[in-house]
Amino acid sequence: MINKKNITIMASGNGSNFISIYNAIKNGIINGRINLLISNKKRSGAVKFAEEKNIYTKFLSKKIIDSRKDYANFLEINLKQFETDLIILAGYLKMIPKEIIIMYKNRILNIHPSLLPKFGGKGFYGMKVHEKVISSNEKVSGATVHFVDEIYDNGPIIAQQKVNISPNETPLTLSKKVLDVEHKLFPHVIKKICEDEINFNKIKPKIEEIRK
Ligand code: GRF
């Protein structure tokens, strides 16, 4: 049996992906433990959930984030102290400092609500992604899990899952469809990483497409 991996969640939004990962651990699907939540939004669903479940939470102030050196130090100290194996960005919008990306190469994952490389990069977050997908008359969208590198939404893709766009789709209905898929896709990938089925050290991981 592989040792349980220590998973640090970085989240500042509603926290629904965080909750889906927490539940997958609780149900024995993911062989890991959430050792820490790092957030830059005290009043977020993610922080509220961590409080309810007694999960350690560390806050990143704007002041820390704005000083690049303090930001990298803060992360390094906490990730070392909590012996983090894997960093999961579950609704975290700030850039991760280069030092941490190097230190945790292929051990930082992000989920994005489109089929990357389409509709990704700076400025593509939240509803903006779905609005652009609809106005571009796309027939499909979906979610992507990828390793994080120094460019927004750019790192190697690990897995994607598609959703069909109906003729009367709105950004809101599409966001709900995609989020639903995210709640299955992210735990699925994290499970595989925790079982060492996706190798951290491979330069380009296998792209897996999950079909319903
Ligand atoms: C998700 O849509 C995810 O793809 C994006 O941020 C959103 C977070 O939602 N990176 P939640 O906070 O997990 O509900």
Q: Quick one: CA dihedral 99, 11, 21, 174, positive or negative?
A: negative
Q: Which residues line ligand 1 (CB under 6 A)?
A: 11, 13-18, 90-91, 111-113, 179, 182
Sequence ranges of the domains in the chain: 5-194
The domain made up of 5-194 is a member of CATH 3.40.1670.10: no
The mean per-residue pLDDT over the stretch 14-43 comes to 98
Top mean pLDDT of 35-39, 104-108, 203-207 is at: 35-39
Q: Quick check: 2 pLDDT over 90?
A: no
Query: What is the model's pTM?
Result: 0.93
3-state secondary structure of 200: coil
Q: From the alpha carbon of 110, which atom of ligand 1 is closest?
A: 10
CA pair distance 210, 212, nearest whole angstrom:
7
Compute the distance from residue 80 Cα to the ligand 1 centre, in Å.
26
Residue 201's pLDDT is 55
CA of 1 to the centre of ligand 1 (A): 31
Residues 141 and 175: beta-carbon distance below 8 Å: no
Which residues are part of the catalytic machinery? 112
Amino acid type, 144: T
Whether residue 13 contacts residue 44, with contact meaning beta carbons closer than 8 Å, is answered with yes
**Average pLDDT in the 170-196 region?**
96
Q: Which pLDDT tens digit goes with each residue over 83-119?
A: 999 999 999 999 999 999 999 998 999 999 999 999 9
pLDDT at residue 202, as a whole number: 53
Ligand 1: which atom is nearest the Cα of residue 93? 10
What stretch of H or E contains 78? helix 68-81
The whole-number pLDDT of residue 133 equals 98
Q: Which amino acid is at 107?
A: R
